[in-house]
Amino acid sequence: MSFAQSLIDNVVRIAEEKGAKKVSKVVVEIGKLLMLNPEQLKFCYEVVSKGTIAENSELELIEVKPIIKCSICGKEYDTPFAICDCGGVLTVEGGKDAVIKKIEMEI
Ligand SMILES: [Zn+2]
């Protein structure tokens, strides 16, 4: 719920800065490593957006996969927190952030 709350706070702040009367759609990239449940997030978004200019807006989520690879040989993996066959430590790039990509609004 707190993630949805901070998301809506940001959306409303940005939209109001642009002088928007209403937000119709929000597109957010969410890293898979954040372990957010998209259905649950959409539900929470709906709840916290009530009474704001983003009420009834559509939330589109784009899941971003992290790039996990060995720091020594460069072999790619699906899960972090492991050691490569060569003994190298895996590094994780991306997949940990939530980024607002687009806000569609009526001005
Ligand atoms: Zn390796």
CATH number, domain with residue 60: 3.30.2320.80
Given this model, what pLDDT does residue 18 score? 96
Q: Helix 2-17 and helix 38-49: axis angle, to 10°?
A: 50
CA of 43 to the centre of ligand 1 (A): 41
* AA letter at 68: I
- Residue 89's Cβ-count burial label (10 Å; 0-12, 13-18, 19+) is exposed
Q: How far is the CA of 83 from the centre of ligand 1 (A)?
A: 8
Q: How far is ligand 1, taken at its centre, from the CA of residue 100, in Å? A: 34
pLDDT at 80: 77
Q: Rounded to the nearest whole angstrom, what is the distance from the C-alpha of residue 69 to the centroid of ligand 1?
A: 8
Per the structure, the count of domains in the chain is 1
pLDDT value at position 10?
97
Q: Contact at 8 Å (CB) between 73 and 84?
A: yes
Q: What is the pTM of this model?
A: 0.83
Digits of tens for pLDDT over the chain (107 positions)?
689 999 999 999 999 999 999 999 999 999 998 989 999 999 999 999 999 999 999 999 999 999 999 999 999 998 877 899 999 999 999 999 999 999 999 99
Structure tokens at 89: 């430590």
Containing structural domain, residue 87: 2-106
Which of 57, 53, 88 lies closest to 70, judged by CA?
88
